[in-house]
Amino acid sequence: MEEQSGKQIKIIISAAVAVLILVVTLFCTEKIQAEMQMQLSQNLEDVANQNAMALRNQVHSNEQLLKGLISEMQHSDEKVSTGILKYTNFVEAYGLKRMGYCMTDGMTVSTDGVVANLSFREFFRRGMNGQCTITGVLTDAMGDDHGRVTVMSMPVRNAAGDIEGVACLTYNSDKFNDSLQMESFEGKGYSFAINEAGEIMVAMGNDQLELSQNLFGDVLGRDQRNTEVIKQICDNLAQGESTQGTMYLKEEDYFFATPVTFMDGEITWYMFTVIPADFLNHRITAIQKNLLVMDFFVILSIMSGILLFVYTTKAQQRELIRLAYIDPVTGGANFARFCQVVDNMHDKRGYLVSADIQNFNSINIAAGREAGDRMLKDVWEILESSLREHEMAGRMREDHFALFLAEDSREALVERMEEISGKVHDRAVKMQVPGVYLRYGVCILEENEAVEDGYSRARSARNCVNEDHARHYMFYSEINQDEIRENQMMEEKFDQALEEQQFEVWYQPKYSVDGSQIVGSEALVRWRKSDGSMVSPGRFIPLFEKNGMIARLDEYMFRTVCRQQAEWLKAGYNVLPVSVNLSRASLYYSDIVERYECIIKECDLDTNYIQLEVTESALEGKADILGVLGKFRDMGVQILMDDFGTGYSSLATLNMRCFDTLKLDKSLIDHIGDESGETLLYHVVSMGQQLGLHITAEGVETMVQLKYLQKLNCDDIQGFLFARPMPSDEFESRMGSREA
Ligand code: C2E
Ligand code: MG
Ligand code: MG
């Protein structure tokens, strides 16, 4: 739902951005168009002014020429009518067609030798009226070419001031126009000048113009829309002001018209510069196109940006969810996800289960880490596939899994847990690792209890599962709460205790079977707490074996014993071998041999003085245990099989040939006195002897037991009968010196 509305918001924002961009573009186009229009007007005005100036200069120079010639002739004795004819060199220099002189009757002589009567010409009549003139385009009446000509004329006065003729310069109109031609607006623009009556006097670049002789009549005739503009032109022209606007000639045209005066203000023309509206529209359309293309790309890139952003945010979200909730090993839910799902369940009736894989380390060691990971995946698959509706599973860490199972009764739950454990066991067997099964701790989630808290209760219950294989589960309600609290405290205090050397090594001597001499001893740990109280290993060893802390304690004991032996040797005591206990968990560490060897070397101790006690159960499920023990033996460290006769002891183990000594457990010794017990003991001892094993009897408390063991030819006796475990200083006093 939230996601849906988020999507809608994003779409609305994207659309709004696109519309905004288009609006901005349209606004910009308008602005640009207006700006261009203004620039065009400005250009039109500039070009018109330049043209006007060019026209003025051209006319002015010719006017000066004509004036100069007239005055020169007036001051000579020669008649102007004949005098002018000798200035043929000016004709060429000024690009004229001819120079001429009209006499009062209109008879005209010219520099090219032609004589004609021009009395019909307007410029003649005006000249005779004392007016200067520049004509529009005329058809040449002199000569035979009937070309297009433009004439500049001026009256010529005699000394008395009377007009005695009209001097004139005749231009070839085309040449005159060409001399004024100015390139403007990429050749699209053109200019022309009209007189006050609207007659076209000169035209520049007027190929397209095709106007007849009078602009006003012509323009009006072409389009009615020109009426207004013509009126305005006439008004402004009369005022001598410039005009700009739109005319409709062939098409829509923009123009700028500016007045030009010559001949001392006698003549005023209006200089037009015209540009077809298309010229501007073309440019604007091109810019519009570019803007639209730019818009397209801007919108495209913004959209792509948004898409990319959405995609990467989604990808990041997915990655975050993966990191937060997905277990990297199993690919399934992790503990955080488990808690989240269970916390959010409406109906939390069911059991919270903490499960771990018993002997998981043996898989890692026997088949490698990868196989261990594969096993975790397999377990996850088994758990996940066994889940029903409103149930959940997640991996906590290492081989610990959390389950929420919605069973109605304990019986059904137990049955289900056993079934799951069976599947895990089968899977492990396929990997050729026996003895693997799941252990469970179970509790019922209290009302308003956080899942984490419930889980830690379930875990405490799991830690109380006995290792006797009788039952693989424990309900929290079954366990002793004081014990749990105490266990927790011991776990917490372990590091500090190691650091502060609260763990002491006590020695229990081993005697020769006749009791005459000490032949060695066993190192046994004691925890002397900071308050002085002593804790026996039976209280904390099983706990530390479960949580893996034992490996550090074993190493600590081993190091302390090695150092002590080295010291006693140095001090000259009669040092005998000391056996140190090694837990199964210690053997899981693949570098144990190297580490212990290092300690022995550090102390510069002969390996005869140190022995290791390993229980038979340590061999369970650990394929290379024999290899590890073999390495110790190669170093010269003897291996003692501890507690033989407890649990699942098997005579077959004796044949494994990785032990030097067999330590008979107290439970076997305790049976001395009853027949079947004695028979069993007899067979065990004789088999051990046959295999060449050294036999030590442990837990010997009575003379009866001693006597029987003597009869069986046991080698050593360890028991309260001779000595209890004692602190090192007491043991030291019993040792005696080497010489003794
Ligand atoms: P264990 O290795 O079998 O050690 C022999 C245990 O039997 C010792 O108990 C010893 O005090 C007890 N014992 C010896 N003779 C007699 C007797 O005649 N009568 C009776 N009732 N008991 C006798 P302790 O010291 O309480 O140790 C218990 C167990 O704790 C040990 O059994 C061993 O498995 C473990 N343990 C002790 N120290 C260490 C250690 O440093 N590392 C490891 N991994 N385990 C240790
Ligand atoms: Mg022992
Ligand atoms: Mg023992």
What is the Å distance from ligand 3's center to 519 Cα? Answer: 17
Which pLDDT score, from 0 to 100, does residue 630 have? Answer: 93
pLDDT reported for residue 501:
95
Residue 663 CA, ligand 3 centroid: distance in Å: 7
- Which of 676-682's residues contact partners 24+ apart within 8 Å by CB, and which partners? 678/708, 681/708, 681/712, 682/712
The pocket of ion ligand 2, defined by CB under 5 A, consists of 581, 613, 642
Query: What integer pLDDT is reported at residue 184 of this predicted model?
Result: 67
Token pair in block for residue 78: 């020669």
Among 541, 661, 702, the mutation site with the greatest number of ligand 1 atoms within 8 A of its Cβ is: 541
Q: Whose CA is nearest to atom 24 of ligand 1?
A: 537
Among all bound ligands, the one having the nearest atom to the CA of 726 is 1
Please tell me the number of the ligand nearest to residue 669's CA: 1
Q: 618 C-alpha to center of ligand 2: Å?
A: 13
The CA 587 to ligand 2 mean position distance, Å, reads 15
What pLDDT shows up at residue 740?
A: 45
| Nearest residue (CA) to ligand 1, atom 42 | 581
Query: How many angstroms separate the alpha carbon of residue 670 from the centre of ligand 2?
Result: 17
Long-range contacts from 206-210, C-beta under 8 angstroms, 24+ separation? 206/177, 208/250, 209/249, 209/274, 210/250
**Contact 562/605 with Cβ under 8 angstroms?**
yes
Q: Which of 458, 430, 429 is nearest to 444 (CA)?
A: 458
Tell the residue number behind the tokens 């207006």, with chain if given: 34
- As a whole number of angstroms, the distance between CA 638 and CA 630 comes to 10
**590 Cα–ligand 3 center, Å:** 24
Residue 15, C-beta contacts closer than 8 angstroms, at least 6 positions apart:
none
Adjacency order of strands within the sheet including 392-397: 392-397, 400-405, 351-358, 437-444, 473-475
CA dist 24 and 26 (Å) reads 6
Are the CB atoms for 716 and 512 separated by under 8 Å? yes
CA distance 224 to 218: 11
In the block, residue with structure tokens 């109906």: 347
CA 138 to each of CA 54, 135, 274: distance values in angstroms, whole numbers, following the listed order = 22, 7, 24
Q: What is the pLDDT of residue 236?
A: 86
What does the pLDDT look like over 575-585, one tens digit per residue? Answer: 999 999 999 88
Residue 168's CB is within 10 A of a number of other CB atoms, namely 26
Interval between CA 377 and ligand 3 midpoint (Å): 38
Ligand 1, CB within 6 Å, residue ranges: 508, 524-525, 536-538, 541, 550, 554, 557, 581, 583, 613, 642-643, 666, 698-701, 718-720, 725
Tokens (6 digits) for 96: 């004229």
The ligand 1 atom nearest the CA atom of 550: 44
Q: Which ligand has an atom closest to residue 523 CA?
A: 1
Helix axes 625-635, 592-602, angle to 10 degrees: 20
Instruction: At 194, list the tokens.
Output: 């009209």
| Residues with Cβ–ion distance below 5 A, ligand 3 | 642-643, 698
Q: Residue 581 C-alpha to ligand 3 middle, in angstroms? A: 9
45, 209, 227, 276 from 219: Cα distances, Å: 21, 11, 8, 15
Give 478: exposed, middle or buried? Use CB within 10 Å, 0-12, 13-18, 19+.
exposed
pLDDT of residue 1: 46
Question: Is residue 206 within 8 Å of 192, Cβ to Cβ?
Answer: yes
Nearest ligand (C-alpha, residue 612) = 2
pLDDT in tens, 437-453: 899 999 998 777 888 88
CA distance 648 to 618: 12
DSSP-derived secondary structure letter, 448: T
What b-and-e string marks burial along 34-58, b requiring 16 or more CB atoms within 10 Å of the CB?
eeeeeebbebbbebbbebbebbbeb
Q: What is the pTM of this model?
A: 0.48
Q: Which of 502, 504, 508, 524 to mutate to test the pocket of ligand 1 (most atoms within 8 A of CB)?
A: 524
Please tell me the predicted confidence (pLDDT) of residue 6: 63
Protein residue with its CA nearest to atom 23 in ligand 1? 699
For residue 87, the Cα-to-chain-centroid distance in whole angstroms is 91
Q: Which two tokens stand for residue 187?
A: 């050749």
Distance 198 CA to ligand 2 centre (A): 134
pLDDT value of residue 584: 84
Secondary structure letter of residue 206 according to DSSP = G
Q: Which ligand is nearest to the CA of 663?
A: 3
Say how many Å lie between the CA of residue 522 and the centre of ligand 1.
9
Residue 665 Cα to ligand 3 middle (Å): 6
| Ligand in nearest proximity to the CA of 725 | 1
Beta bridge partners of 579: 522, 611
Those residues of the chain that have pLDDT short of 70 are 1-7, 10, 77-81, 179-184, 205-213, 321-322, 359, 361-368, 432-435, 467-469, 620-623, 646-652, 737-740
- In this structure, the residue with its CA closest to atom 19 of ligand 1 is 699
Q: Distance between CA 7 and CA 554 in Å, rounded?
A: 61
Q: Which ligand is nearest to the Cα of residue 722, counting in written order?
A: 1
Q: Which token pair is 24? A: 């901005």
For 553-563, letters b (16+ CB in 10 Å) and e give bbbbbbbbbbe
- Which residues, including other chains, have CB under 8 Å from residue 518's CB and lie 6 or more apart? 509, 510, 511, 512, 576, 734, 735
What's the 615 CA to ligand 2 centre distance in angstroms? 8
Residue 339: CB atoms within 10 Å? 20
Mean pLDDT rounded to a whole number for the chain: 85
User: Which atom from ligand 1 is nearest to the alpha carbon of 700?
Assistant: 18
The secondary structure element, H or E, covering residue 400 is: strand 400-405
Q: What are the beta bridge partners of residue 402?
A: 354, 394
CA of 499 to the centre of ligand 1 (A): 23
Ligand 1 centroid to residue 730 C-alpha, Å? 18
Q: Ligand 1, atom 27: nearest CA belongs to which residue?
A: 537
Please provide the DSSP assignment of 537-603 as one string.
HHHHHHHHHHHSTHHHHHHHHHHHHHHHHHHHHHTTB----EEEEE-HHHHT-TTHHHHHHHHHHHT
Using the mean position of ligand 2's atoms as its centre, give its distance from the Cα of residue 720 in Å. 14
Looking at residue 688, what is its pLDDT?
Answer: 93
- 3-state SS assignment for residue 657: coil
User: So what's the pLDDT on residue 648?
Assistant: 46
| Closest among 227, 229, 277, 272 to 253, alpha carbons compared | 277
Nearest CA to ligand 1 atom 3: 643
Ligand 1 atom with least separation from CA of 586: 44
Protein residue whose Cα sits closest to atom 37 of ligand 1: 524
Phi-psi region of 302 (alpha: psi -120 to 50; beta: other; left: phi over 0): alpha
Q: Give me the pLDDT at residue 357, please.
A: 87
Measure 666 CA to ligand 3 centroid, in angstroms. Answer: 7
Judge whether 109 and 87 are in contact, CB under 8 Å. Answer: no
